[in-house]
Chain A
C-alpha cells in the first residue's frame, strides 16, 4: 500500500507548506451541508488550527502506555458536529433507494447489501450509522463528494483528539469528574445497550456532540500502540498511514463502554474479530457484523487537495482480507 501512504504524506506536506506560505490563517465559519435530492443535511463546525498536548498524563484515571503526552500542531479543518446518521448514510448503501442520484455518471462503489440487520435492532432514524468497515466509511466520503463536490474524509487520530478536547487537558472535555458524564455521553451505564439519537446530550466547548460515547468513530490512522513515542518534538498533522487491514484506530468509546474508554485520550484498535461472524470468504470489505459500536464523523481539511489527489485518495483499493 505505497500509494495511499505517499498520498496522505503528500496531503499533510501540502497543507503544512501552504500554511507557511499563508501564515495568516483565513477565518472560517461553521456551515450546513445540504445534499440535493434528499431532505437530509449535516452541520460542519470550523476548527481553528493550533497546538495541543495529545495523549494523557500518567496520573489520569484510565491512562495507558499508548497515550504518552506529546505536542502536536494541527492545521485548521471542519468537523461534523454530529456522528453520521442512517438517514444520510443509507442513501449510499442502496442504489435503488438513493434519492441523490443527480449526476449522469455514478462512478462510486457501493457496499454489498448486508445480509444481517446492521442496525442491530437499535433504531435507524436519527441514530448513528454503525457496523461499516473503515473502507466503507471512506467510500461513503467519496459518495458525498460526488453529491456535494466537497472533499470529506475521516479525521486523523490527532485531529479527532484535538476536536474532542476543545482546548481542555482533562480526561473529558467537561473535566475529570465522571459524575457529570451522563450529561454529555451515552455509555454503558445509561445507553440500555443501544445507540441513541445524535445530539441528545450536551456538546463540548466547540459545539461537537457525542465525541464521548454513543458510537466510537473511525479515524484514518493505523492503530500503532507506540506511535506517539515515534513522534518527538513538535509534530505537524501526524497520521499513521495504514499498511494492514487491522488495526485501524477508533476513538471516543461507545454506548457499550465504561467511562475510562470514553476519555479524550483513549485509543482503540479495530480487530478481525469484528468480522468473525461473516460466514463468507472472501469476507465482506464493507461490513463488520460484530461491531455495532463503530460509526463515522467527517472532516473537511481547510485546504482542499487537488482533484487528482482526491481521486487517488478515494480510489484506494481495500486492503485484502482472508
Chain B
C-alpha cells in the first residue's frame, strides 16, 4: 500500500524508524508482555486511536477517563478532517498531558494505522468494520493490547483472519476487549447468569430485534473519487459495513449466542430493499428477518429494520421450559418470569454504570496491573459470523449452514486500497448500485 502523500517524507522516515524499533523491541518484550513496556515513560500507558470518527473519539474519551496514568500519543484516520475534529475535541477536553499527539504523530491515509499502532502500548481500533481484520492483525503482530469496536469483519475471509489473530493474541497474552458493551452491562450479566443457572429452564426459542428508523447518509460530493465517496458514506457498502444486520444487529445476535452459549448451525430468512432505495443508499437492505437454528433445535428469530415511522424495538426475549426472559440495553432491563407470568427476577438497573465506560475501566485496569484477562476476539468473530450467516440467508434466499458461511471464499474487500483504486461494487450509468437478489445472486 502506498503512503498517503499528505505525510511528508521526513515524517514518514521518522515514523518508519520508530515503527521498526518498536517492532524489534516488541519481539523481545513479547515473552514478558507487561513488565517494562512503559517503563521509559514513567509508567504512563500510551494509546493510539485508529479511526477518528465520532465513535472513535467516544472510545478515546472513555479510555482517557479511566483512572490510570494514560495518554494518547498517535492518531490515524483515512481523512485528515476527521482526525483534526477528533484531536481538537480531545485536546480541548483533556489537554496536553493526556493528548500528546504532535503533528508528526497524526497519520492520514489507508496505511496510517501501521504507523499509529507502532507508537502505542494499547490501540483503539474504531474504523468501519471492513478494516478490522487488517488492523487487528497488525496490532497483534506489533504486540499491542487492543480495544476494538464491533463488528469485527464484513466477509468470511475477514472472519477467518480475526479468528487466526485471536489465537495469536492468546498465545502472546495480549488483552483484547471488543465493544459488544452488553457483555459489560449489569442487566445482561445478571439476567443471563440466572438463565444459565436454569431459572427459566432450557431455552428453546427467542426473538432478538433492532428495528429503528435507520442511520445517517453522507451524499456524494462533487469531485470525490468512487473510493472516497464509499468511504464517506460507508454505512451503505458491504465491504465497509456488512449491512445493518451486521453493523448494529450483531449486538442482539450476540445476546442470543450468549444465552444459548452456542452458535447456530444454520439460518434461513428474508429481507429486501423496500423503502431505502436511493442513489445514496448503496447496496444494503433495509430489512432482514432470520431464523437461526442451533444444534439442539432451538430457533431464535432475528428482526432488523430501518424504516422511518414504524415501531421501534431494540431488545431480546427468550422462552425456556420453565419460564421466559426479557432484556433491553437502553432501559437497563433484565426480567425473568415463570411460565405462569409470575416475575422471578427484575434487575434494578437505574443506577448501573455506563457499560461503554466499564469496557475501558476493566481493560485498562488489567493492563495497569500487568494482568492478562480479556480475550473477546474469538467470540465476537463468531457472533459477527452469525450476522454474516443471516445476511447470506436473506441475500441468497436459501438455507445457509454455519460451515458454508465460515468457509466462504467471497471476498468483498477491494483489490487495492487507495483513493484512485476502485471498490468491487460500482454504480451503473444512473448512479444505482447492484444489490443481492434472493434466488439469483451468489453471495457465499
Residue positions of A touching B, CB distance < 8 A: 90, 93-94, 96-97, 112-121, 124, 276-282, 289-290, 292, 322
CA distance A279 to B354 in the complex (A): 9
Cβ-neighbour of A121 out of B57, B181, B248, B313 (below 8 A): B313
CA distance A121 to B57 in the complex (A): 29
Residues of A within 8 A of B93 (CB): 322
Q: Select from chain B the residue with minimum beta-carbon distance to A95.
A: B308
Tell me if B61 counts as interface (CB < 8 A to partner A): yes
Additional A-B contact list (9), CB under 8 Å, known A279-B181, A281-B89? A90-B308, A90-B309, A93-B213, A115-B248, A117-B330, A121-B315, A121-B331, A278-B58, A282-B89
Q: Across the interface, do A277 and B212 meet the contact criterion of CB distance under 8 Å?
A: no
Residues of A within 8 A of B214 (CB): 113
Give the shortest distance, in Å, between B238 (CB) and chain A (any CB). Answer: 20
CA distance A94 to B275 in the complex (A): 13
Q: Across the interface, do A117 and B57 meet the contact criterion of CB distance under 8 Å?
A: no
Given A276-B354, A289-B330, A322-B92: A281 touches B313 (CB 8 Å cut-off): no
Given A276-B354, A277-B354: A117 touches B313 (CB 8 Å cut-off): yes
Q: Across the interface, do A116 and B314 meet the contact criterion of CB distance under 8 Å?
A: yes
CB-contacts of B67-107 with A (<8 A): 86, 89-90, 92-93
Residues of B within 8 A of A281 (CB): 54, 57-58, 60-61, 86, 89-90
CA distance A278 to B354 in the complex (A): 10
Q: Across the interface, do A117 and B61 meet the contact criterion of CB distance under 8 Å?
A: no
Give the shortest distance, in Å, between B227 (CB) and chain A (any CB). Answer: 25
Identify the 3 closest CB pairs spanning chains A and B, nearest first.
A97-B308, A280-B54, A94-B308
Residues of A within 8 A of B62 (CB): 279
Given A97-B309, A279-B356: A113 touches B55 (CB 8 Å cut-off): no
Cβ-neighbour of B215 out of A113, A278, A279 (below 8 A): A113
Give the shortest distance, in Å, between A144 (CB) and chain B (any CB). Answer: 18
Q: Can you offer 7 A-B residue contacts whose CB atoms are under 8 A? A: A96-B275, A97-B309, A113-B214, A115-B212, A281-B54, A281-B58, A281-B89
Q: Across the interface, do A277 and B330 meet the contact criterion of CB distance under 8 Å?
A: yes
Q: Select from chain B the residue with minimum beta-carbon distance to A119.
A: B312
Chain B residues bordering chain A, tally (CB within 8 A): 35
Interface centre among A93, A96, A97, A282 (most CB of B within 10 A): A96
Q: Select from chain B the residue with minimum beta-carbon distance to A96.
A: B308
Tell me if B274 counts as interface (CB < 8 A to partner A): no
Q: Across the interface, do B213 and A116 meet the contact criterion of CB distance under 8 Å?
A: no
Give the shortest distance, in Å, between A146 (CB) and chain B (any CB). Answer: 19
Residues of A within 8 A of B89 (CB): 281-282, 322
CB-contacts of B10-69 with A (<8 A): 54-55, 57-62
CA distance A96 to B214 in the complex (A): 11
Q: Select from chain A the residue with minimum beta-carbon distance to B278.
A: A96
Give the shortest distance, in Å, between B90 (CB) and chain A (any CB). Answer: 8
Tell me if B175 counts as interface (CB < 8 A to partner A): no
Tell me if B1 counts as interface (CB < 8 A to partner A): no
Tell me if B328 counts as interface (CB < 8 A to partner A): yes
Q: Across the interface, do A279 and B212 meet the contact criterion of CB distance under 8 Å?
A: no
Q: Across the interface, do B330 and A116 meet the contact criterion of CB distance under 8 Å?
A: yes
Tell me if B207 counts as interface (CB < 8 A to partner A): no
Q: Select from chain B the residue with minimum beta-carbon distance to A289.
A: B330
**Residue-wise interface mask of B (168-200) relative to A, using a CB-CB cutoff of 8 A (1 in contact, 0 not):** 000000000000010000000000000000000
Residues of A within 8 A of B275 (CB): 96
Q: Select from chain A the residue with minimum beta-carbon distance to B85.
A: A282
Q: Across the interface, do A117 and B55 meet the contact criterion of CB distance under 8 Å?
A: no
Residues of B within 8 A of A93 (CB): 213, 308
Tell me if B211 counts as interface (CB < 8 A to partner A): yes
Residues of B within 8 A of A96 (CB): 275, 308
Q: Across the interface, do A292 and B309 meet the contact criterion of CB distance under 8 Å?
A: no
Give the shortest distance, in Å, between A295 (CB) and chain B (any CB). Answer: 16
CA distance A112 to B57 in the complex (A): 18
Given A97-B309, A124-B311, A281-B58: A115 touches B215 (CB 8 Å cut-off): yes
CA distance A279 to B356 in the complex (A): 7
CA distance A59 to B313 in the complex (A): 45
Give the shortest distance, in Å, between A100 (CB) and chain B (any CB). Answer: 13
CA distance A278 to B58 in the complex (A): 9
Residues of A within 8 A of B181 (CB): 279
Cβ-neighbour of A120 out of B55, B59, B330 (below 8 A): B330
Q: Across the interface, do A117 and B308 meet the contact criterion of CB distance under 8 Å?
A: no
Interface centre among B62, B313, B331, B355 (most CB of A within 10 A): B331
Residues of B within 8 A of A280 (CB): 54-55, 57-58
Give the shortest distance, in Å, between A197 (CB) and chain B (any CB). Answer: 16
Residues of B within 8 A of A117 (CB): 211-212, 312-315, 330
CA distance A117 to B248 in the complex (A): 12
Q: Across the interface, do B312 and A279 meet the contact criterion of CB distance under 8 Å?
A: no
CA distance A279 to B332 in the complex (A): 15
Residues of B within 8 A of A90 (CB): 308-309
CA distance A112 to B235 in the complex (A): 15
Give the shortest distance, in Å, between A192 (CB) and chain B (any CB). Answer: 12
Residues of A within 8 A of B61 (CB): 281
Residues of B within 8 A of A282 (CB): 54, 57, 89
Q: Across the interface, do A112 and B312 meet the contact criterion of CB distance under 8 Å?
A: no
Q: Across the interface, do B312 and A124 meet the contact criterion of CB distance under 8 Å?
A: yes
CA distance A97 to B308 in the complex (A): 6
Give the shortest distance, in Å, between A7 (CB) and chain B (any CB). Answer: 28
